[in-house]
Amino acid sequence: MLKPRLRIIQNDCVLANFNRNLEEHVRLAEEALEEGIDAIAFPELSLTGYNVQDAAQDIAIHIDDPALDPLRELSRDITIICGGIELSDDYGVYNSAFFFEDGTGRSAHRKIYLPTYGMFEEHRYFSAGQRIEPLTSKRLGRIGIAICEDFWHVSVPYLLAHQGAKLLFVLLSSPLRLTPGEQEPLIVRQWQQIMNTYAFLFSTHVAAVNRIGSEDSFTFWGRSGLTGPDGISTAAAPLFKASKLDTEIDLQAVKQARLNSSHFLDEDMRLFSSELDAITSWRPPA
């Protein structure tokens, strides 16, 4: 499938109401399936809402929990990516991305970089993920999934791309931070710059899936979108408005980008690894 059809869902959700949010996921996935969509992606923590705080432990769910069966069943015909609070086998609580395909589900990524500054306090409620690895989808090819703050650390998309991911997803619940005098919020421009830069440097597609709506003092701004491997934005959803953004992922565009410029393929990972080892093993003189 050289041009799978991806639907990006930019929507609101109900805080700490798993059942209500699951119903909305099922409705939207069924609708997408009827309209010939191959894959559907939802924002960060789309099954639970963002600012769950102490309720995180109560609504954390294991990926094999029967409550997720409706998404598993739908995934026989449509690939589903969404965000939830995961309970691991050893009872860790994670801000995770779930991946459903061919009737099965898996935890595709556990958020590594948990912001705990300013308005954020994620490390109080979640454990940090410890793995950066892509996965293979029969409909989307080799993909990598990151969650919000992970994309503010170049190591995450770098390692996903160098493990073969040609489509990078970043699921967001990015709140508005006002910048006086600016017509367009600075955070919106910053995220677009991040997407365009990674897409170009790693010669990959980048799909950002951000939510809208409000929770307490948090206002989420949307503007989900897709950037091609040439670093040019190809589709964008509006600010502050629920949207279903339909896109085609041209997998041949990655091939063309890398034939046009080999900067990604020329990366010297052995040199990078040895220098990184030297940095991390360095000890200051006594």
Mean pLDDT of the chain: 96
For residue 2, the model assigns a pLDDT of: 77
Tell me the percentage of the chain whose pLDDT exceeds 70.
98
For residue 284, the model assigns a pLDDT of: 78
Burial track 35-45 (b if 16+ CB lie within 10 A, e otherwise)? eebbbbbbbbb
For residue 238, the model assigns a pLDDT of: 97
CATH topology of domain 5-281: Nitrilase/N-carbamoyl-D-aminoacid amidohydrolase (3.60.110)
Q: Tell me the per-residue pLDDT of 192-222, one tens digit each, with 9 for 90 and over.
A: 999 999 999 999 999 999 999 999 889 999 9
Per-residue pLDDT at 182 exceeds 80: no
Q: Tell me the per-residue pLDDT of 244-285, one tens digit each, with 9 for 90 and over.
A: 999 999 999 999 999 999 999 999 999 999 999 999 998 777
For residue 216, the model assigns a pLDDT of: 86
**What pLDDT band is residue 180 in, cutting at 50, 70 and 90?**
low
Backbone angles phi, psi at 3, to 5 degrees: -135, 70
**Mean pLDDT across 111-126:** 95
**What pLDDT band is residue 105 in, cutting at 50, 70 and 90?**
very high
